[in-house]
Chains A and B, each alone.
Chain A
Amino acid sequence: GDSVTQMEGPVTLSEEAFLTINCTYTATGYPSLFWYVQYPGEGLQLLLKATKADDKGSNKGFEATYRKETTSFHLEKGSVQVSDSAVYFCALSGTYNNNDMRFGAGTRLTVKP
């Protein structure tokens, strides 16, 4: 079935470090891809998305490019801040096999001052 695999955490970085969180997917058809962020005690918030191959989603300094050839959608940020500490979820939707969104297990990021 359709699924998303993202790198296991936790990830701990110093402030201003470069961030990469890997995400790969398995899907039939041409899914849309998403990154969500969850801050402590809150619900998930949509961070960015891409709906077709080679699209780049971006928001708040975060970027991810939809790579069909490698079935990947890695999240990157050039300089993380303490306020970026959260759990990040990769997700896909819009395939032939399901009517809902499939989420990865989440990656916890902690940024230290």
Chain B
Amino acid sequence: NAGVTQTPKFQVLKTGQSMTLQCAQDMNHNSMYWYRQDPGMGLRLIYYSASEGTTDKGEVPNGYNVSRLNKREFSLRLESAAPSQTSVYFCASSDGMNYGYTFGSGTRLTVV
């Protein structure tokens, strides 16, 4: 099925460990996004990529890096995980501001 695929679905890290969250879309969308969702705080934008080869910071970029590997793939890296990064992470893609986003199913990350 066409859509946005995120891996892994679940992950537990120890403080200070690093990991990369993977995201791929097969809809030929130009724009891709990484959000985190925390209870009572809605969705907050971490980074986005308006097109292949470009990335920009969102509302909460500290502690994260991203790579737009090609048009399909947009990865999120935590270099040194902290308990404050415990959250559910969603990747999304879009073909323009009037079309809405297609979301992946999320990665549930716990940092202990």
Question: Which residues of A line the B interface, CB within 8 A?
Answer: 32, 34, 36, 42-46, 49, 51, 89, 93-94, 99-101, 103-106
User: Which chain A residues border B103 with CB–CB below 8 Å?
Assistant: 43-45
Are A42 and B42 also in contact (CB < 8 A) when A32-B98, A51-B98, A94-B97 are? Answer: no
Which residue in chain B gives the minimum CB-CB distance to A92?
A: B97
In the bound complex, do residue B101 and residue A46 qualify as a contact, i.e. CB atoms below 8 Å apart?
yes
Interface residues in B38-61 (C-beta closer than 8 Å to A): 40-43, 45, 48, 50, 56, 58
Which residue in chain B gives the minimum CB-CB distance to A4?
A: B42
In the bound complex, do residue B100 and residue A49 qualify as a contact, i.e. CB atoms below 8 Å apart?
yes
Give the size category of B's interface with A. Answer: 20 to 34
In the bound complex, do residue B106 and residue A42 qualify as a contact, i.e. CB atoms below 8 Å apart?
yes
User: Which chain B residues border A36 with CB–CB below 8 Å?
Assistant: 100-101
User: Which chain A residues border B102 with CB–CB below 8 Å?
Assistant: 46
User: Which residue in A32, A43, A45 is a CB contact (below 8 Å) of B97?
Assistant: A32
Return A37 CB to nearest CB of chain B, in Å.
Answer: 11
In the complex, per-residue mask of B45-84: 1 if CB is within 8 Å of any chain A CB, else 0: 1001010000010100000000000000000000000000
User: Which chain B residues border A104 with CB–CB below 8 Å?
Assistant: 42
CA of A70 to CA of B103 in the docked complex: distance in angstroms? 29
